[in-house]
Amino acid sequence: MKTKQEYIDSLRELDLKVYMFGKRVENVVDHPIIRPSLNSLAATFEYAEKPEYEDLMVATSHLTGKKINRFTHIHQNSDDLVKKIKMQRMLGQQTASCFQRCVGMDAANALYSTTYDMDKANGTNYHERFVKYWTWIQDEDLVVDGAMTDTKGDRGKSPSMQDDPDQYLHVVERRPDGVVVRGAKAHQTGMVNSHEVIVMPTISLRPEDKDYAISFAVPTDAEGIFMIYGRQSCDTRKLEEGADIDLGNNTYGGTEALVIFDNVFVPNERIFMDGETEFAGSIVERFAGFHRQSYVCKVGVGDVLIGAAALAADYNGVPRASHIRDKLIEMVHLNETMYCCGLACSHEGHATASGSYEIDMMLANVNKQNVTRFPYELARLAQDIAGGLMVTQPSEADLRDETLGPYIRKYLRGRSDVATENRLRVNRLIENLTLGTAAVGYLTESMHGAGSPQAQRIMIQRQCNMEAKKALAKRIAHIDDSLNGENTEH
């Protein structure tokens, strides 16, 4: 397995094409806006080196028998699924941000079982290709991004009916040794910090959408791939000197990008689906299910937010106020409810035909539905507890100023035994988590990541087996369907 430093060094060897503010980023690894997100992903290597976290961070590959980073593991039992979410909560606690590696793990587990099913149905060899590819990923301990979301254009039209066919990534040329693809993938978490990218269809497809039923893996610096870095609230604070306090979280962060595939060649051995429209929906649903389970990571970030809110109450001198205690209790209740659903869908996992394990789809979707709501309430309560100073306090430059600093320390002090600087720091952390750069990974990802809230509700409706529930009610109420149609009013 790679060390943290080996991972960082390996990124320097890539020729990534990343653009920000209209210019190409010459040094992606050390750019001040990007580096905090790299640090978050690097934590997945750092904690795998720590003996006290080995049980969570390290697994044994069923492909090679070697010790591997759990982010490259194919789940083999329910215990693997449980350890996955415990690992994610722990890393959320340590970074207070998105650590970006989940999406590749979830893509790999979705493809492992789906390629097996495709081969069984059609006599293809996609599963063999994928196993060979993923064995290499495990051996090299590489970071893989998962790319599913297309830009979609006119949502009322299918991929093949779009006025611009590139609104969904698709095959534009077939060669004896591979295919050429064109399109874009939006909202790509961690792509700028990854070695490889796995591309998948974004929706269920019809036979006429055959060219869009493509799944493959290529290096992130492959010819024809470039990324346009996504803006985040307060992101340019990272460019300011002496703004340590103003960042809230000066070490870790998240990252998103719009990724363009401009006539990218994919060799045959890297193709895991090509035209099998009938299996596109399986990849989408399985990936979405695994990724909706993964949103337990927000529980770890929630732990940090709860702690920050409690500190703000302490520093304001009101930790014993009954309404403050009640708000903190509610925050804990909501956070642990999300964790309960993550545990439940993991413990209720089952084996697929391929031998890998899959979560309980219904409970995974319930988990993500909760995550679309509860972090927003946690954020509201944290802002309530912190008070308005969270967004009106002066900058660190003002605090450090010889003339202004003494006034800030005097008038913005809370409890007399707590340094004003510490009060300002915890306020900035709450701002960062609920309004700043971290809010992308905590709030907006909670809403739209792994599909919109309505997508989960559709899956819940499909999975709930309403007819079975009706049958239960009929049995308890002694309802006799044979009486239906009879005129019983006379």
Residues 105 and 201 in one domain: yes
88: in domain: no
189 is catalytic: yes
List Cβ neighbours of 286 (8 Å cut-off, separation of 6 or more).
109, 110, 113, 114, 358
Q: Using alpha carbons, list the distances in angstroms from residue 168 to 224, 228, 360, 452.
A: 16, 17, 29, 18
193: in domain: yes
Instruction: Work out how many domains the chain is built from and give that number.
Output: 2
Reduced DSSP (H G I as helix, E B as strand, rest coil) percent helix, strand, coil of the chain, to 5 = 55, 15, 30
Q: Give dist(CA 36, CA 31) in Å, integer.
A: 9
Q: Mind listing the pLDDT tens digit for each residue in 381-425?
A: 999 999 999 999 999 999 999 999 999 999 999 999 999 999 999
User: How many alpha carbons lie under 13 Å from residue 93 in its C-beta half-sphere?
Assistant: 10
Residue after which a domain boundary falls, among 215, 249, 277: 277
Residues 315 and 447 in one domain: yes
205: in domain: yes
272: in domain: yes
- Tell me which DSSP letter residue 231 carries: P
46 is catalytic: no
Residues 271 and 171 in one domain: yes
Q: Give dist(CA 476, CA 480) in Å, integer.
A: 11
Residues 142 and 210 in one domain: yes
CATH of the domain at 157: 2.40.110.10
470 Cα distance to chain centroid: 36
pLDDT of residue 316: 97
Residues 239 and 385 in one domain: no
Q: Give dist(CA 144, CA 127) in Å, integer.
A: 18
User: Residue 179 phi/psi, 5° resolution?
Assistant: -130, 160
The tokens of 141 are what? 């301990």
List Cβ neighbours of 459 (8 Å cut-off, separation of 6 or more).
285, 288, 289, 361, 362, 365
- Which regions in the chain score pLDDT beneath 70? 486-490
Residue after which a domain boundary falls, among 242, 277, 312: 277
286: in domain: no
Residue 171: in which H helix or E strand, if any? Answer: strand 170-175
387: in domain: yes
pTM of the model: 0.95
Q: Mind listing the pLDDT tens digit for each residue in 75-107?
A: 999 999 999 999 999 999 999 999 999 999 999
E-strand stretches of 1-148: 18-20, 23-24, 58-60, 67-69, 144-147
User: Residue 25 phi/psi, 5° resolution?
Assistant: -80, 115
Q: Give dist(CA 126, CA 439) in Å, integer.
A: 39
Residues 307 and 207 in one domain: no
Beta bridge pairs of residue 198: 146, 217
Residues 310 and 269 in one domain: no
Residues 256 and 356 in one domain: no
233: exposed, middle or buried (C-beta count within 10 Å: 0-12, 13-18, 19+)? middle
The residue from 72, 102, 116, 195 that is catalytic is: 102
Residues 355 and 432 in one domain: yes
pLDDT of residue 246: 97
The residue from 46, 358, 396, 445 that is catalytic is: 445
486: in domain: no
Q: Give dist(CA 364, CA 348) in Å, integer.
A: 10
Q: Which of 255, 138, 136 is nearest to 191 (CA)?
A: 255
CATH of the domain at 378: 1.20.140.10
Residues 302 and 441 in one domain: yes
54 is catalytic: no
Residues 195 and 116 in one domain: yes
The residue from 234, 297, 341, 345 that is catalytic is: 297
Q: Which of 186, 188, 190 is nearest to 42 (CA)?
A: 190
Residues 400 and 322 in one domain: yes
The tokens of 228 are what? 């346009």
List Cβ neighbours of 63 (8 Å cut-off, separation of 6 or more).
74, 131, 134, 135, 138
The residue from 189, 202, 255, 437 that is catalytic is: 189
Residue after which a domain boundary falls, among 245, 277, 309: 277
Task: Report CA torsion sign: 411, 413, 419, 424.
Answer: negative
The residue from 31, 75, 127, 291 that is catalytic is: 291
Enclosing domain of residue 417: 294-473
357 is catalytic: no
Q: Using alpha carbons, list the distances in angstroms from residue 472 to 156, 360, 482, 484.
A: 39, 22, 17, 18
89: in domain: no
464 is catalytic: no
The residue from 196, 256, 276, 358 that is catalytic is: 256
pLDDT of residue 62: 98
350 is catalytic: no
pLDDT of residue 487: 64
Q: Which of 295, 297, 290 is nearest to 87 (CA)?
A: 297
